[in-house]
Amino acid sequence: MTTIVSYNILAGGYNLRNGTRRTAQLAAIIRSAQPDIVGLVEATHPRMQQKPLIIEELASMLGMRLIMSASPASNGYQLALLTRLPVIRTQTHARPDLHRPLLEVCFEETNGQQFTVFVTHLSASFNKGRGGGGIRTREIQEILHILAPARAQGIPHVLMGDFNSLAPGDSFQASALVSYVVGIENEENYPNNSDGHPHLNGVVPPELRFINPVLRLIPRSRVLSKLFNTAAALYAPRDCIRLLYEAGYVDCYRSIHPGARGFTCPAASPAGRIDFIFASPEMATCLETCYVLTDGEDVAGSAASDHLAIGAEFGLNVRPVSAGKQLKKDMIPS
């Protein structure tokens, strides 16, 4: 059995408001799944460069090998992958249509069969043209182009990460998101929207920001919340996930839980499912289960990140690398 986890750890695992680290909380959530592979989104933060990085601490605490993507020029955020399995090769795919590069890591089963894991973080851009749906659609089109050789060769592979988008048919409790955002912005010492948390101006397009005072009233009204949830569910773009469905990728969580919400964000006030593990048809035949990690080792998911991690177990025959060989860090050139 091979367990794969996808996790957005928020701002590299740092609390930017007070400078503290969430290393222990993140390690507890990850360790509870006993994963063989962990794809990490927001694995670093451009403002936090003091060594050791939290991602390096996590690799050491968990006894796993750390593989980091090249740093995107736009904002310095990086993707990363932790693993205890033998790695054949790694690559960072940087493309003009990708807000952040796509991380690729190839593994080998004991029978010689290869499988590949891709980690992505699509653009949020919720305050741009119908919630930034067109931007994310272009990103998925580029990712599908990158994954095309694996599909053509029938190589089992997984695409996972933070897609910042809803799947067709999924529910959306937008009022919960607004309540979360308003609550954060009402806190003292709010760091000017730079700590990775969503904020109203980052969600509402400039031409509609005149309704922000009304949005702040939504959490206080059951009627407004219900109306807002209905409208937001119709407005929320879902095309990028639809493209993955049409390309034959299996939504691991939805295939195991056809009717469950499976919300992953925000962890403290779950509003929607935007973190996914997609499996190619070949990989999907090995899928055993998929689940959202709401807590781990008595640590609430909301204490570790603003996203909940998602895990999937596959019936793959892969032999872990010995502990002495795991503590290795790879930096992948662009």
User: pLDDT per residue over 167-215, tens digit each?
Assistant: 999 999 888 888 787 777 665 455 555 566 766 666 666 555 566 676 7
Task: Kindly report the average pLDDT of the chain as a whole number.
Answer: 86
Q: What is the pLDDT of residues 262-297, one digit of tens each?
A: 999 999 999 999 999 999 999 999 999 999 999 999
CA dihedral 313→88→59→20, nearest 10 degrees, is -90
Output the pLDDT for position 184.
74
Domain 2-170+236-331 has CATH 1.10.10.60: no
Name the region of 274 (left: φ>0; alpha: ψ -120 to 50; beta: rest): alpha
Q: Domain coordinates of the chain in residue numbers?
A: 2-170+236-331, 173-235
Q: Is 36 exposed, middle or buried, given 0-12, 13-18 or 19+ CB atoms closer than 10 A? A: buried
Of residues 132 and 197, more confidence is placed in: 132
DSSP letter at 48 equals B
- Total-model pTM: 0.89
Output the pLDDT for position 193.
53
Residue 254 has pLDDT above 80, yes or no: yes
Output the pLDDT for position 43.
96
Output the pLDDT for position 252.
98
CA 61 to each of CA 56, 64, 109, 204, 270: distance values in angstroms, whole numbers, following the listed order: 9, 8, 25, 40, 29
Residue 324 has pLDDT above 50, yes or no: no
What is the mean predicted confidence (pLDDT) over 291-317? 95
Of residues 30 and 111, more confidence is placed in: 30
Output the pLDDT for position 325.
46
Q: What is the pLDDT of residues 77-130, one digit of tens each?
A: 899 999 999 999 999 999 999 989 999 999 987 777 889 999 999 998 776 767
Residue 310 has pLDDT above 90, yes or no: yes
Of 33-42, 73-82, 147-156, 197-206, where does mean pLDDT reach its minimum?
197-206
Write phi, then psi, for 291 (nearest 5 degrees).
-160, 160
pLDDT band at 73 (very low <50, low <70, confident <90, very high): low
Output the pLDDT for position 180.
81
Strands 20-21 and 2-8: unpaired
Residue 235 has pLDDT above 80, yes or no: no
Sign, Cα dihedral of 191, 164, 219, 267: negative
DSSP SS3 for 93: strand
Residue 72 has pLDDT above 70, yes or no: no
Percent of the chain with pLDDT over 90: 62
DSSP SS3 for 11: helix
Of residues 61 and 322, more confidence is placed in: 61
pLDDT band at 326 (very low <50, low <70, confident <90, very high): very low
Identify the helix (H) or strand (E) that includes residue 40: strand 37-41
What is the mean predicted confidence (pLDDT) over 314-331? 60
pLDDT band at 227 (very low <50, low <70, confident <90, very high): confident
Percent of the chain with pLDDT over 70: 84
